[in-house]
Amino acid sequence: MIHFDINKLKETYKSLEKKTCIENFWQNSEDANSIFQEMKKLKEKIDSYDCLKEKIKDTIEFLEILSQQEFIDYEKDCMKNIKILEKEYSTLKLKSLMVGEFDFNNAILEIHSGAGGTDAQDWTEMLERLYTRWINNKGFKLTILDYNSDTEGGIKSVTMKVEGENAYGFLKGEKGVHRLIRISPFDVSKKRHTSFASVDVFPELKEDMNISINQKDLRIDTYRSGGAGGQHVNKTDSAVRITHIPTGVSVSCQSERSQMFNKETAMKQLIAKLLIIKKEENKEKIDDIQGKYSQIAWGSQIRSYVFQPYTLVKDHRTGFETSNVESVINGNIDEFITQYLCYLVKKK
């Protein structure tokens, strides 16, 4: 299994456990909490591995003692149990690929319509539905932080908070430009159109991360909440947009009735975005990021979804593809996620 040396994991856990017994361990509470977080992640992986190993051992032993007639009698139950074990193995394999610093964190996912007019806004809404179904299937919690619809149809932009174990690790590979090719339902001549939407993903940071931004570098705008209403947003005068002037990076939040809470949430989003940019550009601190930053460059196309004249969804980084477009559009993207995580590990 890629990146899953169980003996090494157990050795690392024991080494960290010894550190917690050292005198003055709690003198630096930040380091201490970091160690406990790492131990928690390791323990979860180790326990999952040991539990699955024991289940596989029990299943093999059970099959070995069955007579031919007993096997026939229990065949359906055995096959059902094996399917469950296969699913648990796939889950463990995915978790073994979570090796990034923030992979364990919750995620903030933004979708923005690009070139293509109403078609692009419709495509953005389709992606919002795709990720919503995927999130629900995973049992994660979804909160809409910002929602900007259009009177002509579709969505201009939407920001989602995804809460769940390894949410950022799962979704980080969705960052980039997503291209749709189909016969446009908005074109009376029934011609094929190409539409674009960009997806940005960044982690929700822990409360104890001490990161500061110069307040002089920020522009804070307030406006009336819009969007779809209902389950998406509250229609109040509390929406907040924060722009980091040196980079042009901006975030918005309108999920709360309180302007203060929206500002606080937006600020956390901004810090997380800038922190990821800092790491990608190998800067020592956020203030070192210079020049306008395009959150998603339109040259960074990662995936194509083709509806006509044939059906195909292809990831341009990994080469993985499927002709079952409907399944993908309905949120079944686990194989794309797995392939990308394997691709990342192979690159290292």
DSSP state of 20: T
Q: What is the DSSP string of 265-315?
A: HHHHHHHHHHHHHHHHTT-SSGGG--S---SS-TT-EEEEEE-SSS-EEEE
* Tokens, residue 209: 């991360």
Q: What is the pLDDT of residue 17?
A: 92
Question: CA 15 to CA 59: how far, in whole Å?
Answer: 33
Taking only the tens of pLDDT, the chain with its 348 residues reads 445 678 888 999 999 999 999 988 888 887 888 898 889 888 988 998 999 999 999 988 888 888 878 778 878 888 888 999 988 888 788 878 887 888 989 999 999 998 778 999 999 999 999 999 999 999 999 999 999 988 888 899 999 999 998 999 999 999 999 999 999 888 878 888 899 999 999 999 876 566 778 888 899 998 877 654 444 445 556 899 999 998 889 999 988 888 888 998 999 899 998 988 888 888 777 777 777 766 666 667 999 999 988 999 999 999 999 999 999 999 999 999 999 998 888 776
pTM for the complete prediction? Answer: 0.79
For Cα atoms 85, 91, 94, give the angle at the middle one, nearest 5 degrees.
140
3-state secondary structure of 156: strand
Q: What is the pLDDT of residue 317?
A: 94
Q: What is the pLDDT of residue 228?
A: 47
3-state secondary structure of 2: coil
